[in-house]
Amino acid sequence: MGSNGAAPGEDADTDADDDSGHRRPRVLFLCTGNSARSQMAEALLVHLSEGTVDTASAGSRPKPLHPNAVKTMRRRGIDISTNRSKHVDELLARRFDVVITLCDRVREVCPEFPSHPELVHWSVPDPALEGDTDRATYPAFERTATELETRIPFLLHTLNPSPRRTTDANR
């Protein structure tokens, strides 16, 4: 089950409304394995948006959730231990406003989505490749989470612009 409450393969568009009846923005994070970066980004966006953004993640070649991704997020008070890695094909029928690729490999194979979302690329190194053991890679997972924690508030600002913003600020 994704962060939007829909079972895999279901179209969650019907439950993407907030309490006021407005459609929540929909964001998909993609990386190759959907085992670390995209899972962490999904969890951080749900957490930092306080659930106001319908968020999902997937990969082009899914691998099991990395234990250091779970540990890193747990240190931030976020539990992703029950998350499941998904192939991007499972989400092709879903509508997204923004698709964010987190690695160069998945950017090259990113499929076309019927909803024609905005495509954004954040080149974030794979923390699992930073060492030979989970202990050796853990600092890289922390750096990855910190980088995502820096980027996501900027994303949130573009998804939910403040009503005070003027037309000149949008140029």
Whether 136 is catalytic: no
Catalytic residue among 103, 106, 128, 156: 103
Catalytic residue among 12, 27, 28, 31: 31
Whether 31 is catalytic: yes
The rounded distance, in Å, linking the Cα atoms of 105 and 108 is 5
Catalytic residue among 48, 78, 98, 110: 110
The CA-atom distances, in angstroms, between 83 and each of 114, 115, 121 are: 26, 25, 23
Q: Which amino acid is at 100?
A: I
The DSSP call for residue 132 is S
Cβ proximity of 117 and 16 under 8 Å: no
Whether 118 is catalytic: no
Query: Residues with catalytic annotation?
Result: 31, 103, 110
